[in-house]
Amino acid sequence: MDTVDPQHLRTFVTVTRLGSFSEAARELGYTQSAVSQQIAALEADLGAGLLNRRPVGPTEAGRRLLEHAAPLLVRLEAARADVARLAGAPSTRLVLGATPLAVGPELGRALGEVRRAYPAAELVVRVLAQGVLPAQAATGEVDLALIDGLAAPSDPLPLPDVGPLATRAVDEQPVAVALPAGHPLAGRSGVALADLSAARWLDAPDLTPTAARLRAAAGVDGFRPATRYRGTDVHGLLALVATGHGLTLLPASALADAPGVASAPIAAPRLVHRTELVHGSLPEGPAALLARLLGA
Amino acid sequence: MDTVDPQHLRTFVTVTRLGSFSEAARELGYTQSAVSQQIAALEADLGAGLLNRRPVGPTEAGRRLLEHAAPLLVRLEAARADVARLAGAPSTRLVLGATPLAVGPELGRALGEVRRAYPAAELVVRVLAQGVLPAQAATGEVDLALIDGLAAPSDPLPLPDVGPLATRAVDEQPVAVALPAGHPLAGRSGVALADLSAARWLDAPDLTPTAARLRAAAGVDGFRPATRYRGTDVHGLLALVATGHGLTLLPASALADAPGVASAPIAAPRLVHRTELVHGSLPEGPAALLARLLGA
DNA sequence: GGTGTCCATCAACTTTTCTGATCGAGGGGT
DNA sequence: ACCCCTCGATCAGAAAAGTTGATGGACACC
């Protein structure tokens, strides 16, 4: 063997995930014997013990390998998906993955046109957290991904690199901080992000930039999250803002008419809330059409 | 087959690079027959033609696959190297990769200490362009990489993602623009990068940020490079600056006493020239020591 | 039109990988 | 304390995959 065998890698991650050779064998459709031999072969190939047996768990080297394995398998899958889509029959199905804030009237209009052009097509919109979307776009679980996030005006969004993906900005909004109505800063024409570092923050990692991102953008410490909000809906988050649980950054458009919530645009540093369209190769059909519509 | 076979991928890359099945076979140590069958297997597996024969060249799908293949093979190699280093015998050899501007007195002092602690160790300093260093650190061609570049004060350097690498800042310098002596801006206490967008620029991609990076940082168009400078030495570049071939950004310390060259610090946007230490797992020995010394 | 190079194909062989059976070790229940 | 059951390792044989060497057809160059 010259390169690490991905099959073995897949078996290895399955074993560590399930904590059992036998269960991994069942899940992968092998015999327990095969799994045992695959792990042995991998350990021999790399010249290091990867798993402690009884109880089954990764060693130091195994943990290191795990960090490599997951992205590797994703990219392997992405390569297959990318080529397959390019060669496959034009698909009649369109799966659009999107972060919650990326779904807006513009997308609705574009989807309407797709509907008109392909009346028989099956359209699926899947709302997902930002973190998983690039991988889903790469592996073809979604045909197109609409991802929103915070960035400097001329930087691209900081997305994880999961392979060669095409990226294009489709929308930019000013960034504003969501405040409870009556907050002293409400209605101010511009606020410096750094001045907010001491405030209580709502950390909604599936929805808006995390505290760590804010620290980086503002160049100061602080932004200690008071409450963590897991979920992909804006409504609930704004309700918490209205009741004083903390502040959050959102695109100005999302704050237009939320009850009990005021806002103030962020003046410094220069940030924008950008929505980007991300995709690998596009199967001819509704997906390609939607990409063209959103790009224009 | 369930995942794409990396062996096939490697063969495919070699065939496209050499434009010949037979030559690829020779280089890889196979028979021509084996190469032919590997390509056929890969095409069957992915369900798409990848190569045009006679003349041999990638198809549309093949080109797409090539974009995936190279990073994939690097990461596969990186996984092996990372684990092997962790398990292997403590190395007596230290290969340090560094961008030219990362080599300075501080590094010299640290290397001296390493020398003292490991008198018998073989120390190698390899100066390389920024672009290739992360991959070399990941695959173990260098044990440690010192990479310098331009970034916002609290952003990490924008490095290509080639796998899980540890990163730590070891030095930060103000950024200055190198000017020919007598230039109207020479000696000014602060210059806005955007004001320089119309100037003639020296593009030295192996040494300093490229024009594209400047455009992104300044948020304006411009920075059209007048002359391209390939190479990793600062001396020659500064000579060109002195003779009026164009401007370049460099860390302030590199400009201290260059003959015929003046400078002015960049005041806006807030940028720093940062040197980061990048490495995978560290083999016990001189490499680990140097990492500790530079980290402190 | 001959000739040489190049890739595809085929059958035989080799190597690798999987299965099914068996073994010893360890944990839990009685 | 003993038994029993589950778990992973190991081994031999079977199955699968990959490689070689020989051969054939297509194309380019002389």
Domain with CATH 3.40.190.10 in chain B: 93-170+274-295, 171-272
pLDDT value of residue A203: 84
Pairing of strands A261-268, A272-279: unpaired
pLDDT higher than threshold 60 for residue A1: no
Contacts of B161 in chain A (CB under 8 A): 160-161
pLDDT value of residue A278: 95
State pLDDT tens for residues B199-216: 888 888 888 777 777 777
Closest CA to B190 of B210, B205, B176, B173: B176
pLDDT value of residue A26: 92
Distance from C-alpha of B191 to C-alpha of B186, rounded to nearest angstrom: 10
**B177 and B169 Cβ atoms separated by less than 8 Å:** no
pLDDT higher than threshold 70 for residue B257: yes
Mean pLDDT value of segment A187-196: 81
Q: What is the three-class DSSP state of B148? A: strand
CATH code given to domain B171-272 = 3.40.190.10
Residues 6+ apart with CB under 8 A from B279: B137, B143, B144, B145, B165, B166, B287, B291
Token duo for residue A188: 């101010």
State pLDDT tens for residues B20-71: 999 999 999 999 999 999 999 999 999 888 998 878 889 999 999 999 999 9
Q: Quote the percentage of chain B above a pLDDT of 90.
A: 42
Asked if B64 lies within 8 A of A82 by C-beta distance, the reply is yes
DSSP states of A37-95 as a string? Answer: HHHHHHHHHHTS--EETTTTEE-HHHHHHHHHHHHHHHHHHHHHHHHHHHHSPPPSEEE
Q: Quote the percentage of chain A above a pLDDT of 90.
A: 42
pLDDT higher than threshold 70 for residue B296: no
pLDDT higher than threshold 90 for residue B268: no
C1’ C15 / CA A41, Å: 15
Looking at chain A, which residue has its C-alpha nearest residue B217?
A154
Asked if B2 lies within 8 A of A3 by C-beta distance, the reply is no
Give residue B283's pLDDT band: very low, low, confident or very high (50, 70, 90): confident
State pLDDT tens for residues B112-156: 999 999 998 899 999 988 889 999 999 999 999 999 988 887 778
Closest CA to A10 of A69, A60, A63: A69
Domain with CATH 1.10.10.10 in chain B: 6-87
**A128 and A95 Cβ atoms separated by less than 8 Å:** no
pLDDT higher than threshold 70 for residue A185: yes
Q: Is the CB of A31 under 7 A from strand C?
A: yes
Distance from CA of A218 to the nearest CA of B (A): 8
Contacts of A79 in chain B (CB under 8 A): 4, 9, 65, 68-69, 72
The top-level CATH class assigned to A93-169+274-295 is alpha beta
CATH of B93-170+274-295, one of 3.40.225.10, 3.40.190.10, 3.50.50.60, 3.40.50.1980: 3.40.190.10
C1’ D19 / CA B8, Å: 14
pLDDT higher than threshold 70 for residue B1: no
A6-87 is classed in which CATH architecture?
Orthogonal Bundle (1.10)
Domain with CATH 3.40.190.10 in chain A: 93-169+274-295, 171-272
